């Protein structure tokens, strides 16, 4: 049987050697503080991203509410004027929801790109200060990997994972509020 069970190794550690697993940095308060130091200059844009996420989750609930009203008030109630208004409102909500999604994606990508730029510049400046001995004793591939892959991984976490977590929390919160409101 392969390592990790019948399907082989799974999870984030599947490609790491034993030495790499042992030398992985631990998530400490100091590391989190350093990560947040990169986010701090962009807090106004991050607040806009958060607002867009919350608005998207709210607008995500509206189509089902409007569909219920279309059926109850427009079709069953046989009120053609209300039916037309609710259908137009549904299209407006859909359009606005998509525009907010585009804005969220743009701002999130902008922030992630700028943080990546800052990190690469800081790493480049640090490498310029390193001694000649560092470059003769270090593997070139390790240095290049840090400059490219590791920072790209950080960008992916900021652009995708962080936004996904916040979005899921916002959807959960707005759904609970909507269900509570509906049954109260």
| Interval 9-43: pLDDT, tens | 455 555 667 777 776 767 788 877 888 888 899 99
Q: What is the pLDDT of residue 84?
A: 93
In a domain, residue 150? The reply is yes
Q: What are phi and psi of 181, to 5 degrees?
A: -65, -40
- Domain hosting 103: range is 43-62+97-183
In a domain, residue 77? The reply is no
Q: How confident is the model at residue 1 (pLDDT cuts 50, 70, 90)?
A: very low
In a domain, residue 122? The reply is yes
Q: How far is CA 5 from CA 1, 2, 9, in A?
A: 7, 6, 7
Q: How many domains does the chain have?
A: 1
Three-state SS string across 128-174, please? HHCCHHHHHHCCHHHHHHHHHHHHHHHHHHHHHHHHHHHHHHHHHHH
Q: What is the pLDDT of residues 34-79, one digit of tens each?
A: 888 888 999 999 999 999 999 999 998 899 889 988 998 888 888 8
Q: What is the pLDDT of residue 182?
A: 80
Which residues are CB-neighbours of 130 under 8 A, at least 6 positions away? none
In a domain, residue 151? The reply is yes
In a domain, residue 153? The reply is yes
Type and span of the H or E element at 99: helix 80-129
In a domain, residue 57? The reply is yes
Class of residue 32 by CB neighbours under 10 A (exposed 0-12, middle 13-18, buried 19+): exposed
Class of residue 104 by CB neighbours under 10 A (exposed 0-12, middle 13-18, buried 19+): buried
């Amino acid at each position: 049987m392969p390592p990790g069970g019948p399907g082989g190794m799974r999870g984030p550690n599947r490609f790491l050697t034993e030495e790499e697993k042992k030398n992985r940095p631990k998530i400490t308060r100091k590391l989190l503080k350093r990560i947040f130091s990169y986010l701090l200059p962009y807090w106004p844009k991050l607040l806009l991203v958060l607002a867009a996420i919350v608005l998207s989750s709210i607008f995500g609930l509206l189509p089902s509410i409007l569909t219920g009203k279309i059926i109850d008030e427009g079709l069953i109630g046989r009120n053609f004027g209300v039916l037309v208004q609710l259908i137009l409102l549904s299209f407006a909500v859909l359009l606005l929801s998509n525009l907010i999604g585009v804005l969220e994606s743009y701002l999130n990508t902008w922030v992630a790109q700028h943080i990546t730029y800052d990190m690469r510049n800081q790493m480049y400046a640090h490498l310029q200060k390193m001694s000649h001995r560092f470059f003769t004793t270090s593997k070139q591939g390790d240095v290049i990997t840090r400059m490219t892959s590791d920072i790209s991984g950080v960008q992916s976490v900021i652009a995708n994972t962080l936004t996904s977590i916040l979005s899921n929390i916002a959807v959960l919160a707005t759904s609970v509020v909507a269900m509570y409101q509906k049954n109260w």
